[in-house]
Structure 1
Amino acid sequence: MSGLISATTSAADKRSAFRASLISEKITRLPGAINPLTAKLIQEIGFEGVYVSGGAFSAALGLPDIGLTTLTEVAAHSAQIARSTDLPVLVDADTGFGEPMSAARTVTVFEDAGLAGLHLEDQVNPKRCGHLDGKAIVPTDEMVRRLRAAVSARRDPNFVICARTDAAGIDGIDAAIDRARAYADAGADMIFTEALHTHADFEKFRAAVDIPLLANMTEFGKSQLIPAQVLEAIGYNAVIYPVTTLRLAMGAIEKGLRVIHEEGTQETVVDQMQTRSRLYELLDYERYNEFDSGVFNFTLSRSQ
């Protein structure tokens, strides 16, 4: 039964592993998981962590990334993903789903959901995608209150609270650096600077901030796509690929649906699909069958 219906690693051990990874010399790579099955694949391939993107989750619901999803929705979705993998899971908590007290509650809810950490951003609520123009950010002292509330609510000291700043695209990198330092002083464990443009921008930020840093390598955004090994050499501690799996999946889904619409059959794209046997392998179907047989196909010995 071990490792079938849920992961074998406890939430506490995942958090401990995640925190330890952020002070190691190796970068922690966290591809976005759009569902638990994707998280299982991320683990099997050998990544160090899993990310739950607010933008990908809202898109899967048919909604834009403008703060329309609720804490309850995101927590339930994230809990399903965390339960399916032995890897630590970092979740996008937007602005904390409200005022500082809401950010505090968000931490406790995500702890209970088995997550290893979250990031809170300094945008005005409701927020928008970090790689779009027209964003607005709260004053630094307001974000500091948001972070202090979150940190004070944490019960497991290994639960990672990451502070995201969107200031670079609004007020410039120097302003973002000032905010990052203030957020670190407020208790943030890691800093996520959104929408940096170039290799030099990432280097400048690393040189200016002393605590762990997270890079966002999202496609079609403002950031140059920098390989993980280069980010590691710069000194970054973690990197997320937030919407990559959704974009890969939706690209393939759209192509296949158009083929069926035009040709009346999916026959010409079958070779591009995950096979039934591969799906069953990923789901560990054989072990479920063994467990099921072991539970239901038994006889009772009767004492005389």
Structure 2
Amino acid sequence: MTKSALKQLLHGDRLATAAGAHNPLTAALVEEAGFDVVWASGLEISASMGVPDANVLSVTECLSTAAAMAARVGIPVLADCDSGFGGITNVIHMVQDYEAAGIAGVCIEDKTFPKLNSFVAGPQQLVPIEDFAGKIAAAVASRRSADFVVVARIEAFIAGHGLEEALRRARAYELAGADALLVHSKLAVPDEVVAFCDHYTGDVPVVAVPTTYASTTMDELHAAGVSLAIYANQGLRSAIASTRETFAAILRHGCASAVESRLVPLSDVFGLQGTARMLEAEKRFEQVGRGVAAQVDADLAFDWAAAHAG
């Protein structure tokens, strides 16, 4: 699947879906489940390395993880790139590097650098509209192909501003060239997102992240005007819960048999690793090597015989 698939999904007739991942294995599970897009989640990648989601990791660390995901799956990878890892120059290099790595698009948010995760109680400060519009324009101008998607993430609601500010920023970012607008909210209901969609008169697709308003259905999001729904962290959170339960049960029972019935078999792990493909490839090319060696021996023997004939 080409990078253009992400842009096609954003402009499709149905709601496209993405799920968060933090390494190639979880990206493979996203694809296996049937999601359209892998979200290379900043929260998940940070958490997997045991650090806060606050730009502690470098762009190199985030890029290498997202690139490994893109190399593993056949569906587009949309990378969460926080506030662009710095200023305009950082954004330019970030876009060039991510596009070259085979990633389908990047999402950057209009908060200050370093950012703080949107759901953490703490300072959520926005940059001036003109500053972020400059970042979006730089990102769009720096890509080699128009198929590489630049998503502008609007944090107005997260920072305590109202609908008017969110719409002002949406208009500015669209004019700057954004391919899609992600409108973020931490309410337990989708009211802010729905209000944004109702009043937004622009032409670019809207993306939502139904983390806190988890009971809102995909059909409801699509009806509101959302083009892509990102389930950004549910995989990580479920993995933490099940791993805690498994480890506690092993210690409680004094053996691992108590948890075996709810674990996937090792054959499932080997399948996700591509072990069978590896072994088949080794066997096939070992046979090729033996054939080449035999042909060389036969050719040399013929040449020797011809040279000494008579």
Instruction: Give the CA deviation at 1:122.
Output: 0.7
The 5-angstrom pairing of residues 276-291 of structure 1 reads: 276-291=266-281
Identity of counterpart residues, as a percentage? 30
Distance in 2 separating the partners of 1:31 and 1:224 = 14
Structure 1 residue aligned with 2:26: 38
Instruction: Give the CA deviation at 1:196.
Output: 5.2
The 5-angstrom pairing of residues 150-229 of structure 1 reads: 150-169=139-158, 170-195=160-185, 197=187, 198-209=189-200, 210=202, 211-218=204-211, 221=212, 223-229=213-219
1:40 maps to amino acid:
A
Larger radius of gyration: 2
Of residues 160-169 and 263-272 in structure 1, the stretch that sits farther from structure 2 once superposed is 263-272
Of residues 51-60 and 133-142 in structure 1, the stretch that sits farther from structure 2 once superposed is 133-142
Asked if the contact 2:208–2:226 (Cα under 8 Å) also holds between the matched residues in 1, the reply is yes
1:156 maps to amino acid:
S
What is the aligned counterpart of 2:90 among 86, 90, 102? 102
Structure 2 residue aligned with 1:5: none
Asked if the contact 1:147–1:186 (Cα under 8 Å) also holds between the matched residues in 2, the reply is yes
* Cα distance per residue 1:54-92 (max 9 Å; x no partner): 011111111111111111000001000000001000011
Asked if the contact 1:18–1:88 (Cα under 8 Å) also holds between the matched residues in 2, the reply is yes
2:25 maps to amino acid:
L
The 5-angstrom pairing of residues 8-27 of structure 1 reads: 9=1, 13=2, 15-27=3-15
**SS of aligned partner of 1:90:** strand
Asked if the contact 1:131–1:195 (Cα under 8 Å) also holds between the matched residues in 2, the reply is no
Q: Provide closer, same or farther for how the CA distance between residues 196 and 208 of structure 1 changes in structure 2, counting only shifts above 3 A.
A: farther
1:165 maps to amino acid:
I
Give the TM-score normalised by structure 2: 0.89
In structure 1, stretches of 5+ residues that fail to align are: 1-8
**SS of aligned partner of 2:177:** coil
Distance in 2 separating the partners of 1:160 and 1:248 = 29
Of residues 149-158 and 282-291 in structure 1, the stretch that sits farther from structure 2 once superposed is 282-291
Asked if the contact 1:217–1:239 (Cα under 8 Å) also holds between the matched residues in 2, the reply is yes
* Cα distance per residue 1:263-294 (max 9 Å; x no partner): 22221111111111222233343232211101
**SS of aligned partner of 1:126:** coil
1:127 maps to amino acid:
K
Instruction: Give the CA deviation at 1:224.
Output: 4.6
**SS of aligned partner of 2:21:** coil
Distance in 2 separating the partners of 1:262 and 1:191 = 48
1:43 maps to amino acid:
E
Instruction: Give the CA deviation at 1:233.
Output: 2.1
Asked if the contact 1:50–1:90 (Cα under 8 Å) also holds between the matched residues in 2, the reply is yes
Q: Structure 1: which 4+ aligned runs deviate by more than 6 Å?
A: none
Structure 2 residue aligned with 1:120: 108
Asked if the contact 2:43–2:117 (Cα under 8 Å) also holds between the matched residues in 1, the reply is yes
Distance in 1 separating the partners of 2:258 and 2:281 = 37
Distance in 2 separating the partners of 1:257 and 1:46 = 29
Asked if the contact 2:210–2:231 (Cα under 8 Å) also holds between the matched residues in 1, the reply is yes
Q: Provide closer, same or farther for how the CA distance between residues 236 and 107 of structure 1 changes in structure 2, counting only shifts above 3 A.
A: same
Instruction: Give the CA deviation at 1:27.
Output: 1.4
**SS of aligned partner of 1:29:** strand
Instruction: Give the CA deviation at 1:235.
Output: 1.9
Number of aligned residue pairs: 289
Please give the root-mean-square deviation of Cα atoms over the aligned residues, in Å.
Answer: 1.5
Q: Does 1:138 align with 2:131?
A: no
Asked if the contact 1:49–1:87 (Cα under 8 Å) also holds between the matched residues in 2, the reply is yes
Structure 1 residue aligned with 2:263: 273
